[in-house]
Chains A and B, each alone.
Chain A
Amino acid sequence: MKTAVVAPPYDIDAVRQDFPILQERVNGQPLVYLDSAASSQRPRAVIDAIRQHYETSHANVHRGAHELSVRATEAYENARSCVAAHIGAEDAAEIVFVRGTTEAINLVAGSLGSTRFGPGDEILLTKMEHHSNIVPWQLLAERTGATLRFVDVSPEGRLVMDDYGRMLSERTRLVGVTHISNSLGVINPVKEIAALAHEAGALCLVDGAQAAPHLALDMGALGCDFYAFSGHKMCGPTGIGALWGRRAILEEMPPYQGGGEMIDSVTLEGSTWAPLPHKFEAGTPNIAGAVGLGAAIRYLEGVGLDAIRRYETELAGYALERLGEIEGLRIYGPADGRVGVLSFTYRDVHAHDLATILDQRGIAIRAGHHCNQPLMEHLGVDATARASLYLYNTPREVDALCEALHLAGELFCRTH
């Protein structure tokens, strides 16, 4: 029997203790949570920050002259500064709080649509996009007559960059690409993609939902125009996420929704808009969510994004090796240049059946098309099982996964 040689650069036991839910038992077994790509778990620091906000500081923001409103506004805007610093944004006003990645992309598509796109214009996406970076553009295309095109994915699971180069043209108005594929785990060369997009005169939007939890980000270095991500995949609460956009572009974009908070002044004849970022934040925002996201970022920075990345890379390598030893198991996505999002099929056991079997062992994985139907069709599969790793997972949990897969094999081979 093999011994795992994965040495975390931080105290993994202490990190696990920070996440109360990891002490849960599921179906009589200790929880093995391998579904962080769908939604991560929260450390106590985040749960406490939200509770503390409600217990000591809650009121509406940007309104009251009273003390609590001042505290709430400060907490909310501090969270914005925290997000800005975390992703290397020049200016906190470039951070728009949204419900999550999906809303961020809908905001851009909705707001840009009326001004930038018309018949003959092209929006260039890739075949590995999540539905949330396809459907908003399909709706936009229907409204404006613009055309969608899709960059190919190689059999190994990488973007075909030659294809991208060929498809870019003066007709391309926007390039939308995922930083990390939620099915394949592959890290895309977004810096190069953004530079090429700009050469062609197109804007570049990056879906960072799977990257923000794992990578240290620097908007200045990345060179895109929009970056979208969700809090709940990076130890933060659900219902909060951020859109970063270049100030000059955000300035010229019309509002996405109308209401309170986003106006400068309103008369019955018309209204003027609040300055950035409030122009895009109509209505009372998710104040506690933003506070929780700030706490999540401070937590991840406390452990260290680089340390997390190093550990996850080793753990993913170990998982790929162990899974690779299982006969009849096929892993999708490349061997390197990836994170620990591991999609696989196993013999003729359907992914849903696998998920049910693993659940009986306390192991949580995702099964299905992962909101990636076009990619699944491209790969020639209906569904895959997906185990995704995060900072709190251990080699032992990878071993538990492999053991449970053997059980699934046994269960399905009784008639063979």
Chain B
Amino acid sequence: MSEHADTPDGKPIDRSIPSALADLFQEVILDHYRRPRNKGSLEEPTHTITMNNPLCGDVIELSLSVKADRIDDVRYEGRGCSISQAAVSMMTERLKGAKLGEARALSEKFTRLLHGEEDLQRDEKLGDLRALAGVSKFPVRIKCALLGFNCLDELVGEPAAGDREPGSGQGEQR
């Protein structure tokens, strides 16, 4: 009774890939999703934290080795969507050798990128992370892209004045 060549309102199906989706799932993102960089764990991390997104189940464990205010090495373990996993993989690439201040600046810039600041799409300090600019058009996915950076912020973020309670994650500094 119903032939299936049409959309539910009877129009022919448009089989092209919508540009917003092509922007969201850029090839470099899929590449990081399938060939994650710095995945694993450090033998002797100075900082480690596991955070999850209880609504969708994405999980990231971030481990840092910080020496003299500089991130010597970084690894992560994680499960979840392409956005959360690609973002953390890209983040680790930018963190190796970075000073803590630079790491904080990266986090702040990336957050602004996700909220649609277009200038930042040309900021080379963001590296592959710039490919995630398309997330700004999908507000419900911003929390996915930020999960890895939330871990970073918990570990090395600037303490708010007079307040350095551990956050909601199970953070641990060794």
Q: Which residues of A are at the interface with B, using a C-beta cutoff of 8 A?
A: 1-7, 29-30, 32, 348-353, 356-357, 360, 367-369, 373, 376, 382-383, 394-397, 399-400, 403, 406-407, 410-412, 414-415
7 additional A-B residue pairs with CB within 8 Å, beyond A3-B3, A367-B56, A414-B27: A30-B7, A352-B81, A353-B81, A356-B138, A368-B57, A395-B1, A411-B17
Given contacts A403-B15, A407-B15, A412-B30, whether A357 and B4 have CB atoms under 8 Å apart is: no
B4 & A414 in contact (Cβ 8 Å cutoff): no
**Out of B18, B20, B22, B144, which one reaches A352, CB within 8 Å?**
B144
By beta carbon, the residue of chain A nearest B79 is A382
B2 & A396 in contact (Cβ 8 Å cutoff): yes
In whole angstroms, how far apart are the Cα atoms of A368 and B4 in the complex? 29
In whole angstroms, how far apart are the Cα atoms of A367 and B84 in the complex? 15
Q: Does B166 contact A (CB under 8 A)?
A: no
Q: Which residues of A contact B68 (CB under 8 A)?
A: none
Q: Which residues of B are at the interface with A, using a C-beta cutoff of 8 A?
A: 1-9, 13, 15, 17-18, 20-22, 24-25, 27, 30-31, 34, 55-58, 79-83, 138, 140-141, 144
B2 & A394 in contact (Cβ 8 Å cutoff): yes
A6 & B82 in contact (Cβ 8 Å cutoff): no
**Out of B25, B55, B80, B83, which one reaches A411, CB within 8 Å?**
B25
How far, in Å, is A346 (CB) from chain B's closest CB?
A: 13
A1 & B80 in contact (Cβ 8 Å cutoff): no
B2 & A30 in contact (Cβ 8 Å cutoff): no
A397 & B8 in contact (Cβ 8 Å cutoff): yes
By beta carbon, the residue of chain B nearest A363 is B8
**Out of B9, B21, B81, which one reaches A350, CB within 8 Å?**
B81
How far, in Å, is A405 (CB) from chain B's closest CB?
A: 12
In whole angstroms, how far apart are the Cα atoms of A348 and B31 in the complex? 12
A397, A406, A407 interface centre (most CB from chain B within 10 Å)? A407
A356 & B56 in contact (Cβ 8 Å cutoff): no
A7 & B1 in contact (Cβ 8 Å cutoff): yes
By beta carbon, the residue of chain A nearest B5 is A1
By beta carbon, the residue of chain B nearest A4 is B2
B31 & A395 in contact (Cβ 8 Å cutoff): no
Given contacts A30-B9, A353-B25, A356-B24, whether A2 and B4 have CB atoms under 8 Å apart is: yes
A395 & B2 in contact (Cβ 8 Å cutoff): yes
In whole angstroms, how far apart are the Cα atoms of A6 and B18 in the complex? 31
Given contacts A30-B7, A395-B4, whether A348 and B17 have CB atoms under 8 Å apart is: no
In whole angstroms, how far apart are the Cα atoms of A373 and B56 in the complex? 11
Please give me the 3 A-B residue pairs with the lowest Cβ-Cβ distance, nearest first: A399-B4, A352-B81, A350-B81
Q: Which residues of B contact A30 (CB under 8 A)?
A: 7-9
By beta carbon, the residue of chain B nearest A393 is B8
B6 & A396 in contact (Cβ 8 Å cutoff): yes
B82 & A383 in contact (Cβ 8 Å cutoff): no
In whole angstroms, how far apart are the Cα atoms of A403 and B81 in the complex? 21
B18 & A360 in contact (Cβ 8 Å cutoff): yes
Q: Which residues of A contact B25 (CB under 8 A)?
A: 353, 357, 411-412
In whole angstroms, how far apart are the Cα atoms of A272 and B21 in the complex? 62
